[in-house]
Structure 1
Amino acid sequence: MSAIAWIAVGSLAAWGWLLLGQGFFWRTDQRLPRREAPASWPDVAVVVPARDEAEVLPLSLPSLLAQDYPGRAEIVLVDDGSTDGTGELARALSARHGGLPLRVVSPGEPEPGWTGKLWALRHGIALARERAPEYLLLTDADIAHSPDSLRELVSAARTGGLDLVSQMARLRVASGWERLVVPAFVYFFSQLYPFRWVNRPAARTAAAAGGCVLLRTETAERARVPESIRQAVIDDVSLARAVQRSGGRIWLGLADRVDSVRPYPRLADLWRMVSRSAYAQLLHSPFLLAGTVVGLAVIYLAPPVALCVGVFGHDTVAGWAGGLAWAVMTATYLPMLRYYRQPLLLAPVLPFTALLYLLMTVDSAVQHYRGRGAAWKGRTYARPEAAPDR
């Protein structure tokens, strides 16, 4: 057989494994587990780190203020050095909409060794603990919740004996680039961290979605969160690992009641979102980067190339293997497109989207070696990694 035929056969074998052996990552049925209303509703503190979020806060904060929660709950919004009036706007929205009580605080600039978001969470969690809530809801400033979101999260945690319940917020898909890139972002994430594997009682795989995390306060103290992960740029996965190491039970799934309202209208916006942490995900390893590039090329790019070689170059094996691999790839992407209510005709375009992600990952490494590290909201972290335990 030709070299391209061998590569196509290898790609087809890889897709066979991904289809059946990678935790059925492509299915979208991991939603909030069975839940019953508790006999008494625990106290909850909602902690919202916010830095220059005036654009999205009017769309997200009112949804938190309007939570229909039977127990006692409050919101602590941590204004992390904003220059756009985020704190003042939050107070104005609270006065206008009422609802849950809101405290707006500012932690000052991060101390050395802390990433900005985790520094803000540290300050917010410390203030929240003063009133001894049983749970902390850690949610980003661009996340909008349906009125029953908090109630359903607490019910799921209590019913399942879960220490951490996290939902992958449904990201915005309005522009053409968002439709092309965003569903694939969640698809690739679930391929790396299959939700079924995360949710098994004796799971070794740990992950969370940082936009919506309900965390038992006692567990946070036992896991030394956020101090134990104070340098993490990929803070959600680091948080889940810290909770799991401390003996906590975690759960992760797709959201029905939680949505991101942050727009990413241009490719450049999406590029920054992915590239800022992609190389950190690979532990800043050139070897893992090379392996990732080769893996993406073989698994996602080789099938359409092999099919074209088969059709136009009369390589039967390459054509059949490439075509079948592309068909399996397309089929596994369909459930995610349905979840995002996007045209199913986008499924065959996944190889092109994978090429974009490959280039974003390489760019992330290039920025790292240029000393720019992970840049976000005016801050740059040269070595975005979890801090070692003391």
Structure 2
Amino acid sequence: MNALTWISVGSLAAWLWLLLGQGFFWRTDVRLPDRRPPDDWPSVAIVVPARDEAEVLPESLPSLLAQDYPGRAEVFLVDDGSTDGTGELARSLAAERGGLPLTVDSPGEPGPGWTGKLWAVRHGMALARARTDAEYLLLTDADIAHAPGSLRELVAAARAADLDLVSQMARLRVVTPWERLIVPAFVYFFSQLYPFRWVNRPGGRTAAAAGGCVLLRREAAERARIPDAIRHAVIDDVTLARAVKRTGGRIWLGLAERVDSIRPYPGLGQLWRMVSRSAYAQLLYQPLLLLATVAGLAVVYLAPPAAVAAGAAGGNVPALAAGAAAWAVMTGTYLPMLRYYRQPWWLAPLLPFTAALYLLMTVDSAVQHYRGRGAAWKGRTYTRPEATP
């Protein structure tokens, strides 16, 4: 057996393990648990950090204001230094549409060591504490649109299962060719890193959340010192879930049915920046982890089609067979995510090409970090945590 055969066999073994041993990450049936209505509906404060969101706010904010919730709920939109009139637009939308009470405020520039989003969340949580006795906080991004019963279902699930954190991975927008190629794979790779069944296992070590939609019990937030304890986090949702779980909280994560992201990523450039801004942070800014990740992506995702091509050209039947089998398993595990996003099946065999793009985005994330432009988002660049005051 030559090197090509060994690599293709190793890739097949990796895919068989991923298929059966990685928490069935490829399944898309993890949805909100039991949603029995509680006897009494607790009050909820909805905190929306927003920076230059005038483009998406006319669709997302009215969906929050129109929530069909039996208890008391109030929306706190925190204008994080916007220059496009986000705050004024939010007030006018509330005056025009009505619905839940809305408070719009601004915290000023982030304090030392804080990311802008978490600084805004901190301010929104402080407003909520001062003005309400909310038992739960719904932390949701300004580009997230909620169906009318979304809040009701989140609270019912949290109460019925006694959960401290309930998070739904919003269904991202998939319209353009680049979105079709890259967006479903983003959620697929996320669930591969953080299998939802492992996240939801009480006492398990895996913790994650999806920052676009997080219902958090206020008591659990105070126990975990949220957001102060995670103020420097670029990947704030996963860090938040870890903090809650580490302090004894019960968490749940799954795919959304009635929560959608409306932010457009029409071209490759926008999608590239979305991924690369936090990819190296995910690797803890460690060069060795970067090298291991690149090697792993190459063996797991790129080796199967390479083995098929080289094996067919050189008459290497074992390499061809192992590569084809690995590619088939890979394709099969991607199909459920494509069905969830209502995309055609023929995108599944293209996953190696998409993985190659993610590999390049990850390398670019590290390059931008060492150039001093890492984790850049909407005019701000964040350094690694130990470099902050």
Tell me the TM-score normalised to structure 1 length: 0.98
**1:201 offset after TM fit, Å?**
1.3
Call closer, same or farther: CA 1:186–1:384 in 2, change over 3 Å. Answer: farther
Which sections of structure 1, spanning at least 5 residues, go unmatched? Answer: none
Kindly provide the CA deviation profile for residues 8-32 of structure 1, in whole angstroms up to 9, marking residues without a partner as x.
0000000000000000000000000
Q: Structure 2 counterpart of 1:323, which letter?
A: A
Q: Structure 1 counterpart of 2:48, which letter?
A: V
CA distance, structure 1, for counterparts of residue 312 and residue 363 of structure 2: 31
The 3-state SS of whatever aligns with 1:114 is coil
The residue that corresponds to 1:44 in the other structure is 44
The residue that corresponds to 1:171 in the other structure is 172
Kindly provide the CA deviation profile for residues 288-346 of structure 1, in whole angstroms up to 9, marking residues without a partner as x.
00000000000000000001111111001100000000000000000000000000100
Q: Structure 2 counterpart of 1:127, which letter?
A: L
Residues 232-271 of structure 1 correspond to what in structure 2 (within 5 A)? 232-271=233-272
CA distance, structure 2, for counterparts of residue 235 and residue 153 of structure 1: 20
The 3-state SS of whatever aligns with 1:92 is helix
The residue that corresponds to 2:71 in the other structure is 71
The 3-state SS of whatever aligns with 1:215 is strand
Are 1:277 and 1:364, in contact at CA under 8 Å, matched by a contact in 2? yes
Q: Structure 1 counterpart of 2:316, which letter?
A: D
**1:385 offset after TM fit, Å?**
7.3
Kindly provide the CA deviation profile for residues 189-248 of structure 1, in whole angstroms up to 9, marking residues without a partner as x.
000000000001112100000000000001100000000000000000000000001100
The residue that corresponds to 1:124 in the other structure is 124
Question: How many matched pairs?
Answer: 388
CA distance, structure 1, for counterparts of residue 316 and residue 179 of structure 2: 36
The residue that corresponds to 2:226 in the other structure is 225
Kindly provide the CA deviation profile for residues 227-274 of structure 1, in whole angstroms up to 9, marking residues without a partner as x.
000000000000000000110000000000100000000000000000
CA distance, structure 2, for counterparts of residue 26 and residue 321 of structure 1: 21
Percent identical residues: 79
Are 2:112 and 2:388, in contact at CA under 8 Å, matched by a contact in 1? no
CA distance, structure 2, for counterparts of residue 304 and residue 316 of structure 1: 14
Are 1:8 and 1:306, in contact at CA under 8 Å, matched by a contact in 2? yes
**1:387 offset after TM fit, Å?**
8.4
Are 1:232 and 1:387, in contact at CA under 8 Å, matched by a contact in 2? no
**1:376 offset after TM fit, Å?**
0.1
The residue that corresponds to 1:190 in the other structure is 191
CA distance, structure 1, for counterparts of residue 338 and residue 206 of structure 2: 25
The 3-state SS of whatever aligns with 1:209 is coil
The 3-state SS of whatever aligns with 2:259 is strand
CA distance, structure 2, for counterparts of residue 319 and residue 213 of structure 1: 45
Q: Does 1:303 align with 2:304?
A: yes
Residues 1-390 of structure 1 correspond to what in structure 2 (within 5 A)? 1-130=1-130, 131-383=132-384
Q: Structure 1 counterpart of 2:184, which letter?
A: P
CA RMSD in angstroms comes to 1.1
CA distance, structure 2, for counterparts of residue 56 and residue 386 of structure 1: 34
Which sections of structure 2, spanning at least 5 residues, go unmatched? Answer: none
Are 1:231 and 1:385, in contact at CA under 8 Å, matched by a contact in 2? no
CA distance, structure 1, for counterparts of residue 29 and residue 290 of structure 2: 31
The 3-state SS of whatever aligns with 2:151 is helix
Structure 1 runs of 4+ aligned residues shifted over 4 Å read 384-388
Tell me the TM-score normalised to structure 2 length: 0.99
Kindly provide the CA deviation profile for residues 75-104 of structure 1, in whole angstroms up to 9, marking residues without a partner as x.
000000000000000000001110000000
Are 1:135 and 1:217, in contact at CA under 8 Å, matched by a contact in 2? yes
CA distance, structure 1, for counterparts of residue 386 and residue 321 of structure 2: 43
CA distance, structure 2, for counterparts of residue 238 and residue 158 of structure 1: 23
Are 1:233 and 1:384, in contact at CA under 8 Å, matched by a contact in 2? no
Are 1:238 and 1:386, in contact at CA under 8 Å, matched by a contact in 2? no
